[in-house]
Amino acid sequence: MANLIPPRFKVVIDYEKCRKCKRCVINCGFGVYSFSDRVIPDHKKCVSCQRCVAYCPEEAITIIENPNVFRPNSYWTMEERINIMKQASSSGMLLTGMGNDRPYKNYFDHLLIDACQVTNPSIDPLREPMELTTYLGSKPDAVKVKVEDGQIKLDTKIAPQIKLDTPIIFSPMSYGSISLNAHKALARAAKECGILMNTGEGGLHKDLYPYKDRIIVQVASGRFGVNQEYLDHSAVVEIKIGQGAKPGIGGHLPGEKVNREVSETRMIPEGTDALSPAPHHDIYSIEDLAQLIYALKEATNYEKPVSVKIAAVHNVAAIASGIARAGADIIYIDGFRGGTGAAPTIIRDHIGIPIELAIAAVDDRLRAEGIRNSVSIVAAGGFRHSGDVAKAIALGADAVAIGTAALIAMGCHVCQMCHTGNCSWGIATQRPELTQRLDPDWAAGQLINLIKSWSLELKEILGALGLNAIESLRGSRERLRGIGLTDTELAILGVKHAGR
Q: What is the pLDDT of residues 153-188, one digit of tens each?
A: 888 999 999 999 999 999 999 999 999 999 999 999
CA dist 231 → 224, 264, 297, 329 (Å): 12, 16, 10, 16
Minimal CA–CA distance to 245: which of 173, 194, 165?
173
- Contact criterion met (CB below 8 Å) for 174 and 253: yes
List all residues 6 or more positions away from 284 whose beta carbon is below 8 Å from its beta carbon: none
CA–CA distance, 241 with 243 (Å, rounded to integer): 7
Residues of the chain with pLDDT under 50: none
CA dist 181 → 104, 171, 173, 425 (Å): 34, 16, 12, 11
The length of the chain is: 500
User: So what CATH class is 134-497?
Assistant: alpha beta
pLDDT of residue 218: 97
Domain ranges of the chain: 9-92, 134-497
pLDDT of residue 267: 93
pLDDT of residue 1: 57
Tally of helices (H runs) and strands (E runs) in the chain = 15, 23
pLDDT of residue 327: 97
- Contact criterion met (CB below 8 Å) for 99 and 348: yes
**Phi, psi (degrees; rounded to nearest 5) at 267:** 60, 50
**Phi, psi (degrees; rounded to nearest 5) at 294:** -75, -25
Domain 9-92 has CATH 1.10.10.10: no
Binding region for [4Fe-4S] cluster:
18, 21, 24, 28, 46, 49, 52, 56
CA–CA distance, 493 with 290 (Å, rounded to integer): 30
CA–CA distance, 114 with 339 (Å, rounded to integer): 30
What residue spans of 309-354 are helical by DSSP H? 316-325, 345-350
For 458, the 3-state DSSP assignment is helix
pLDDT of residue 118: 85
Minimal CA–CA distance to 98: which of 386, 353, 427, 320?
427
Binding region:
18, 21, 24, 28, 46, 49, 52, 56
pLDDT of residue 150: 87
CA–CA distance, 178 with 86 (Å, rounded to integer): 26
pLDDT of residue 42: 96
CA–CA distance, 232 with 129 (Å, rounded to integer): 36
For 67-88, letters b (16+ CB in 10 Å) and e give eebeeeeeeeebeebbeeeeee
